[in-house]
A and B are shown apart, each in its own frame.
Chain A
Amino acid sequence: MRSIMAASMKNVEEIRTRVILGEFGVKNTHTTDFPGNYPGYDDAWSMQKFQQNFRIDVVHLDDSSMEFDMVGIDAAIANAFRRILLAEVPTMAIEKVFIYNNTSIVQDEVLAHRLGLIPIRADPRLFEYRNTGEESAEDQGSEIDTIQLQLKVKCSRNPRASKDSSDPRELYLNSMVYSRDIQWVPVGNQADVFADCRIGPVHDDILIAQLRPGQELDITMHCVKESVGAAGKDHAKFSPVATASYRLLPEITILEPVEGEKAERLKRCFSRGVIDLEDVDGRKVAKVVNSRLDTCSREVLRHADLKNLVKLGRVRDHFIFTVESTGILPPDVLVTEAIKVLMAKCQRFLQELDSTDMD
């Protein structure tokens, strides 16, 4: 009787904390730890318990990407961070393109679209949202909400090119227009304020257009602060991240000892470094070393003799976040910004609750 109880307790524990990868589907996908859902569990939310369990470990951080673990939190909140990173952290991007001359073969609209997608290095926190009122086409914007950029390129023949060359790079000058050709035109006091932050495209080598002798581009652009979620002006170019996503921490449990040839095969079923072979009394015994590295290909389930020896699971509240920035801000700053956005939203919600009287 006790053992049955213990087994079921273990079962419930698994349902509560693990997502199980079965052969034909994922089990226990939903969060079930609502208060009162399981007898014998106190699932009421408590700040203290949360503080005890919650932790963030930064695993990797560089200029453009970041990996961190967020442990002890509900999927809904983790997902909120992901969604905010994708869509609600404001970003500067080229919004208005004034084409004075474009004799290249790239059509005006396509050119404008290409320019818009170029990430612009400018800290959006230092700018205001541009007024969303009625704007005229010639609206100049002001130093606090707009960055002006300029692209002025003209292609010509290279007088020093060798006669028999057929490479356009050698034959012509400025035949390739790269993002490095975009110049920042400071407005008002911007030259002083942003003296040290090199406003301009993040990457120098984005090919914008190709020109041939006689063709030219004469373009000014206005960069504006906005977020993807903004109504009416939403566009993927306002996303500060290339992508932001998470995965759950894989957990591989070997149910029975696996030895010899089977162990070798088991090892090959997982990503490199997940399973190691240990020498126990001259036999090779499989052992899970680092399940984090597994890509969850579920290869093991194709082996009839192995599939019942392991259990593939994922820890429900252990989120491994990957944030790839487009380069306008370091990824860690983006995450902090995302958290700030969520806090601001909560604040507004609370205010809203306070201000409406409920009957």
Chain B
Amino acid sequence: MELLGEEFGDLSPQELAAPVSTVADKWKLLPAFLKVKGLVKQHIDSFNYFINVEIKKIMKANEKITSDADPMWYLKYLNIYVGMPDVEESFNVSRPVSPHECRLRDMTYSAPITVDIEYTRGSQRIIRNALPIGRMPIMLRSSNCVLTGKTPMEFSKLNECPLDPGGYFIVKGQEKVILIQEQLSKNRIIVEQDRKGAVGASVTSSTHEKKSRTNMIVKQGRFYLRHNTLSEDAPIAIIFKGMGVESDQEIVQMIGTEEHVMASFAPSLEECQKAQIFTQTQALRYLGNKVRRQRMWGGPKKTKMEEARELLASLILTHVPVKEFNFRAKCIYLAVMVRRVILAQGDNKVDDRDYYGNKRLELAGQLLSLLFEDLFKKFNSELKKIADQIIPKQRAAQFDVVKHMRQDQITNGMVNAISTGNWSLKRFKMDRQGVTQVLSRLSFISALGMMTRISSQFEKTRKVSGPRSLQPSQWGMLCPSDTPEGEACGLVKNLALMTHITTDMEDGPIIKLAFNLGVEDVNLLCGEELSYPSVFLVFLNGNILGVIRDHPKLVNTFRLMRRAGFINEFVSISTNLTDRCVYISSDGGRLCRPYIIVKKGVPMVKNKHIEDLSQGYRTFEDFLHEGLVEYLDVNEENDCQIALYEHMINKDTTHLEIEPFTLLGVCAGLIPYPHHNQSPRNTYQCAMGKQAMGTIGYNQRNRIDTLMYLLAYPQRPMVKTKTIELIDFEKLPAGQNATVAVMSYSGYDIEDALVLNKASLDRGFGRCLVYKNAKCILRRYTNQTFDKVMGPMLDAATRKPIWRHSILDADGICSPGERVENKQVLVNKSMPTVTQTPLEGSAQPGQPQYRDVPISYKGSTDSYIEKVMISSNAEDAFLIKILLRQTRRPEIGDKFSSRHGQKGVCGLIVPQEDMPFCDTGICPDIIMNPHGYPSRMTVGKLIELLAGKAGVLDGRFHYGTAFGGSKVKDVCEDLIRYGYNYQGKDYVTSGITGEPLEAYIYFGPVYYQKLKHMVLDKMHARARGPRAVLTRQPTEGRSRDGGLRLGEMERDCLIGYGASMLLLERLMISSDAFEVDVCGQCGLLGYSGWCHYCKSSCHVSSLRIPYACKLLFQELQSMNIIPRLKLSRYNE
């Protein structure tokens, strides 16, 4: 009894016996969350933080420029702003621009960056306001975007889709996403084992000024510090002494006075002793000899000792602040590192690099701020250089720096980085490729999926499983299903539905609060306290703050204050019992998600709160402020007891999951009943959902994309999920509900092929529209000539336009609605033959000569012209964009897929009368072979069919939400009520014989996606065609009308078979046969019956060899190797 009472605390027996009350619609918190946070909110938040806060900090850090030439001259930035996006119409005239206009006109959606400056001109001090220094590409839906705060009606006026998530940039007309980058956390001690099993610690320090990596390693029981500014590993005791801790006792005190700790550290002290280093000066001198020389331009020459001191202060563990060479904090940090290593050696408790608490996600704002900082510094140093150059020269006009502020450096720097994705910043030793990607607009889901994508810094080629495998700590933060197959598997991940990524915040108040809550400042301690068993170390963002005696009280008070709203909701605090530490984090890039707070076994969120929420009296923010819900990051999550469902709550529970299905991401959220599927199937669907055609946005018909696939009749899925509703997939669907019969039919359905009903296709099933564009720019050239568009050419006899020009209007541009055939001209452009400025003196011809460079249509099937846009681009050149359209009905070979990773191509199209039909006269749209099920184990698809069938009969949509959804039992009862078989299997009659089929057929609607792979785009054959210039062999690839290669293995078969003449024909005659003249005497190649070597024609004979062979001979000759052919008659 006593035991029981202890376990259930102060709960009365009645309370214990009461049924677990469930908060009925607690999932409604989710839409409320998405309303405030949204799926791409992390991108937008981070960009907003950058353009509103961070950019000012960067300016502050680089605010003053001085010149060496004139000590009186200076330039000081007072303020910096990013404006609203606009476009420069003509000189100094600009107007606001909408994102869609930028897309259409191939421009950059950017806003001017303006600064207020104070500078000197001569002896005058001048203040100038709002001076532009460059342009910043603006993220859509960020605080400076024209779209923020607009109603859907206003969106439509701007030709923008209200459902479009934003969070991307438009650069040169292309939509570019800066992917989220995953990195190891900065400024944290990571203890790890190297390949030989030796334990070491490493810290990647990063501050605004510097980035460095400090390693602590153990060699023969001695501790060393490794840093890339030191030419060799430095004994740790010497470092301590160099930092002013001269007494060995003090060093040991800081590291720890336990017996085994002292024993482990003794050899290091001994080594120091042997090196005869006892004082700080000695240590610094020793280190000074090891410093790797750095190129220092200018500045007073430093002694080696000064250099060493500088190194210790600013390069080693840069993130630990050192003020006026007070190394106290750094010493303690170093001591803690040593202690960690010693403790880890004993129990082999090393940190997990793949643990998500040790990871940080870098977002667009952080990446852009690095880039901007780099560009801004470059801009300033350029200004300084100009000042240094010009000021000494005596000029009539005084030096005015404003005239030398050129905007294009920052503008181009930003635009180029985003459009190429190359982030190479020398100052931060950063050289990354592929940071940005073109936003895929294949379907709404693919665009949305791209916004939640995370790419890892890990190399793709390395074959290690650790970083690729699913980490338990990514539960709820990253989608377990959504990752690509193949080389990037497990390295590219996606955010889960409720994940939020934090941004940096001010840590000053947190420090103050921590000290007020009883944390003892590390600078006031003697060092021995660090290893006292009664105290815990307190870290803030990787820096040691101090020690605390009563750590549970600190953590609890901290959390209470956060719930009360006194501290930012994204500050996390967690205890680590193994390291005896309390970690407080307020840095950016941490993954976190909201949970319902549970107190005394009762969730704080009650039904009445949810009611208020659905009636709009309460928002998600209110839940946060009232302490009902809070954000937990990965580290804090580890410190909590989180119940999945109400009935799992026990007395220790601290939090309750809002909804379990939120652990999946956007793409996996589309799958009905994913918890019934084999897990790789869900992964396959995540990849395929991005290829499904459908609708891409409300503004899809206003877009002129290079490639766009739309479905003629998209449908909402019969079986939906909560996620589908939340991300508005129903408003922009990509697929159709097909009636599927699971049976074998005709043998054209083997290997996952599908049999389609012809009447369904006639009625519009799977019909899709393919849009492509053709572009044409009319340029002006330096010699005052320009491109022209000519009217159609008339046939001399009939006075009608010639066939190639038959679709052209009088203005020489094709007209909308016309049908274009292969090789017809879309824009009859001609270009001047001479575009260079003529050399001085040479006579300018009166009338420039033009040559035709028509934009013509290439394609195996005809297209229709949807629309023609005539505009101008950013360089003021004429821009003509033509949108071409094809309507395609499914044909044999087109690819389809259900939402369960079950893809298949159409194998046969059968007329309706041959299709089987059930008692009610329904024919299937698709027949699918049952062999697709056993090995794939996609039970979710079976349930989807049942739920879909019941839904159709009932006239309502069923839910297939993960870990929930309509239950099979209920769904089957529905079927029975409507007179259908409980198992969904129907009695079916063959359409061919008219007799019933011997088996009952699983029959019902399944949501099918049409994938972008269509035979029409892939079919290829060639008899004759273009050849490569160098080798004269047929070109490669369909796009170049290339040949079909007879590869090595095919060749081996023919060799094995002995079909020598066939080989000769395939490899030479049909490829690059070449007639050469060979001199029988010297064995060299001659030319037109004459040997240039022998100067005779008497031994020259003609033979056929591959051109590549001839080329090889000549190339060998060019490098002084003479290949000689020996000729003999084959009958000799």
Q: Are B885 and A107 in contact (CB under 8 A)?
A: yes
Q: Which residue of A lies closest to B917 (CB)?
A: A245
Which of under 10, 10 to 19, 20 to 34, or 35 or more describes the interface residues of B?
A: 35 or more
CB atoms of B919 and A247 under 8 A apart: yes
* Contact (Cβ within 8 A) A31 B982: no
A23: nearest chain-B partner, CB-CB = B1000
Q: For chain A residues 275-327, which have a beta carbon within 8 Å of chain B? A: 295-299, 302, 314, 322, 324
A237 to chain B, nearest CB (A): 7
Shortest Cβ distance from B992 into A: residue: A79
B917 touches A76 (CB 8 A): no
Let me know if A87 and B921 touch, CB within 8 A: no
CB neighbors of A among B905-955 (8 A)? 911-913, 917, 919-923
Beta-carbon contact of B712 and A110 below 8 Å:
yes
Give bound CA distance, A221 to B848, whole Å: 50
Contact of B997 among A26, A83, A228 (CB under 8 A): A26
Given known A-B contacts A228-B911, A302-B982, A322-B921, A26 and B976 have beta carbons under 8 A apart: no
Whether A26 touches B999, Cβ cut-off 8 Å, given contacts A21-B987, A110-B712, A297-B979, is: yes
Question: Residue A113 at the B interface, CB < 8 A?
Answer: yes
B221 CB-CB contact with A under 8 Å: no
Q: Could you say which residues of chain B place their CB within 8 Å of the CB of A314?
A: 996
B358 in the interface (beta carbon within 8 A): no
B961-990 interface (Cβ within 8 A of A): 975-976, 979-982, 987, 989
Complex Cα distance A229/B920, Å? 23
Instruction: State the CA gap A298–B922 with chains docked (Å).
Output: 19
- List chain B residues, Cβ under 8 A from A295: 919, 979-980
Nearest CB in chain B: distance from A19 CB, A: 6
Interface-facing stretch out of B45-53, B89-97, B119-127, B755-763: B755-763
A76–B712 contact, CB under 8 A?
no
Given known pairs A102-B817, A105-B701, A236-B912, the reply for A29 and B997 (CB within 8 Å) is yes
Separation in Å of the B297 CB from the closest CB of chain A? 64
Q: Would you call B921 and A296 a contact (CB within 8 A)? A: no
B912 touches A19 (CB 8 A): no
Q: How far is the CA of A199 from the CA of B998 in the complex (A)?
A: 46
Task: Kindly state the separation between the CA atoms of A83 and B997 in the bound complex, as whole angstroms.
Answer: 17
Q: Are B701 and A86 in contact (CB under 8 A)?
A: no
Which residue of A has the minimal Cβ distance to B888? Answer: A109
Please tell me if A30 contacts chain B, counting CB pairs below 8 Å. Answer: yes
Looking at chain B's contact residues, is the secondary structure mostly helix, strand, loop, or mixed? loop
Query: Chain B contacts of A102 at CB under 8 A?
Result: 817
Which residues of chain A have C-beta atoms less than 8 A from B866's C-beta?
Answer: 107
The answer to whether A113 touches B817, judged by C-beta atoms less than 8 angstroms apart, is no
A136-152 CB mask vs B (1 if < 8 Å, else 0) is 00000000000000000
Bound Cα distance from A305 to B595, whole angstroms:
50
Asked whether A299 lies within 8 Å of B981 as measured between CB atoms, the reply is: yes
A26 touches B998 (CB 8 A): yes
Asked if A243 CB lies within 8 Å of chain B CBs, one says yes
Interface centre among B769, B917, B920, B996 (most CB of A within 10 A): B996
List chain B residues, Cβ under 8 A from A76.
993-994
Q: Mark B861-876, 1 if CB is under 8 A from A, else 0.
A: 0001010000000000
Task: Kindly state the separation between the CA atoms of A271 and B977 in the bound complex, as whole angstroms.
Answer: 9
Interface string of B308-325 (1 = CB under 8 A from A): 000000000000000000
B467 at the interface (CB under 8 A from A): no
Contact A107-B758, Cβ < 8 Å, known A29-B996, A83-B991, A299-B981: no
> Assuming the A-B contacts A21-B987, A322-B921, are A109 and B911 also in contact, with contact meaning beta carbons closer than 8 angstroms in the complex?
no
Contacts of B79 in A (CB 8 A): none
* B995 and A31 within 8 A (CB): yes
CA–CA, A174 to B764, complex, Å?
25
- A76-134 interface (Cβ within 8 A of B): 76, 78-80, 82-83, 86-87, 99, 102, 105, 107-110, 113, 117
Closest to A314 in B: B996
Say yes or no for A235: interface residue by CB 8 A criterion: yes
Give chain A nearest CB distance to B628 CB in angstroms.
Answer: 37
Cβ of B763 and Cβ of A117 under 8 Å apart? Answer: yes
Residues of A within 8 Å of B1101, CB to CB, are none
Chain B residue contacts of A342, Cβ below 8 A = none
Whether B921 pairs with A243 at a CB distance below 8 angstroms is: yes
* Interface residue? B767 (CB, 8 A): yes
What is the 8 Å Cβ interface bit string for chain B, positions 330-367, against chain A (1 contact, 0 not)?
00000000000000000000000000000000000000
Q: Can you name the residue of chain A whose Cβ is closest to the Cβ of B887?
A: A109
Q: How far, in angstroms, from A225 to B226 measured CA to CA in the complex?
A: 89
Q: Name the A residues within 8 Å of B921 (CB-CB).
A: 243-245, 322, 324
Contact A25/B999 with A105-B701, A247-B989, A299-B982 known, Cβ cut-off 8 Å: yes
A245 to B758, CA, bound (A): 17
Instruction: Decide if the interface of chain A is mainly helix, strand, loop or mixed.
Output: mixed
On whether the beta carbons of B996 and A248 are closer than 8 Å, the reply is: yes
The CA-CA distance from A243 to B759 in the complex, in Å, is: 11
A27→B997 CA distance, assembly (Å)? 9
How far, in angstroms, from A87 to B921 measured CA to CA in the complex? 15
A30 to B913, CA, bound (A): 19
A82-B994, A297-B979, A322-B921 in contact; A26/B987 too (CB < 8 A)?
yes
The answer to the question of A187 belonging to the interface, with a C-beta cut-off of 8 Å to chain B, is no
Which of A27, A113, A271 lies at the interface centre, i.e. has the most chain B CB atoms within 10 A of its CB?
A: A113
**Contact between chains at B996 and A26 (CB < 8 Å):** yes
Cβ-closest chain B residue relative to A88: B913
**Nearest-Cβ distance from residue A86 to partner chain B, whole angstroms:** 4
CA distance A223 to B994 in the complex (A): 33
Among B746-779, those with CB < 8 Å from A are 758-759, 762-764, 767, 769
A109: contacting residue among B759, B864, B981, CB under 8 A: B864
Q: How far is the CA of A236 from the CA of B996 in the complex (A)?
A: 24
Interface residues of A in 223-271 (CB under 8 A from B): 228-229, 234-237, 239, 243-248, 271
Question: Is A75 part of the binding interface, using a Cβ–Cβ cutoff of 8 Å?
Answer: yes
Q: Give, as a whole number of angstroms, the nearest-CB distance from B151 to chain A.
A: 12
Question: Which residues in B have their C-beta under 8 angstroms from that of A299?
Answer: 976, 981-982
Q: Which residue of B lies closest to A110 (CB)?
A: B712
- Determine if A297 and B762 form an interchain contact, defined as CB atoms under 8 angstroms apart: no
Complex CA–CA separation, A248 to B767 (angstroms): 35
| Cβ–Cβ < 8 Å partners of A107 in chain B | 769, 864, 866, 885, 887
A75/B982 in contact, CB under 8 A: no
Most chain-B Cβ atoms within 10 A of its Cβ — which of A29, A105, A235?
A29
B1000 touches A236 (CB 8 A): no
Q: Which residues in B have their C-beta under 8 angstroms from that of A229?
A: 911
Q: How near does chain A come to B307, taking the closest CB pair, in angstroms?
A: 72
Which residue of B is nearest A117, CB measured?
Answer: B763
How far is B769's CA from A30's CA once the two chains are assembled, in angstroms? 45
Q: In the complex the two chains form, what is the Cα distance from A239 to B975 in whole Å?
A: 31
Q: A296 — which chain B residues lie within 8 A by C-beta?
A: 919, 987
**Contact, CB under 8 Å: B1000 / A26:** yes
Interface centre among B917, B921, B993, B1000 (most CB of A within 10 A): B921
Nearest CB in chain B: distance from A283 CB, A: 27
Is the beta-carbon distance between B979 and A271 smaller than 8 angstroms?
yes
CA distance A295 to B769 in the complex (A): 41
Which residue of A29, A82, A109, A236 contacts B762 across the interface (Cβ within 8 Å)?
Answer: A236
Whether the pair B998, A236 counts as a contact (CB closer than 8 A) is no
Asked if A239 and B769 make an inter-chain contact with CB atoms under 8 angstroms apart, the answer reads: no
Q: Which residues of A contact B885 (CB under 8 A)?
A: 107, 109
Cα–Cα, bound, A189→B874 (Å):
62
- Name 20 A/B residue pairs within 8 A (Cβ), A-sorted: A19-B996, A25-B1000, A30-B995, A75-B995, A83-B991, A107-B769, A108-B817, A108-B864, A110-B767, A117-B764, A228-B911, A228-B913, A229-B911, A243-B921, A247-B919, A296-B987, A297-B979, A297-B981, A297-B982, A298-B1000
Beyond A83-B991, A236-B759, 16 extra complex contacts between A and B, CB < 8 Å: A26-B987, A26-B998, A86-B912, A87-B912, A107-B887, A108-B817, A109-B887, A236-B912, A243-B921, A243-B922, A244-B921, A246-B989, A295-B979, A299-B976, A299-B981, A299-B982
Task: Give chain A's interface residues, CB within 8 Å of chain B.
Answer: 19, 21, 24-27, 29-31, 75-76, 78-80, 82-83, 86-87, 99, 102, 105, 107-110, 113, 117, 228-229, 234-237, 239, 243-248, 271, 295-299, 302, 314, 322, 324
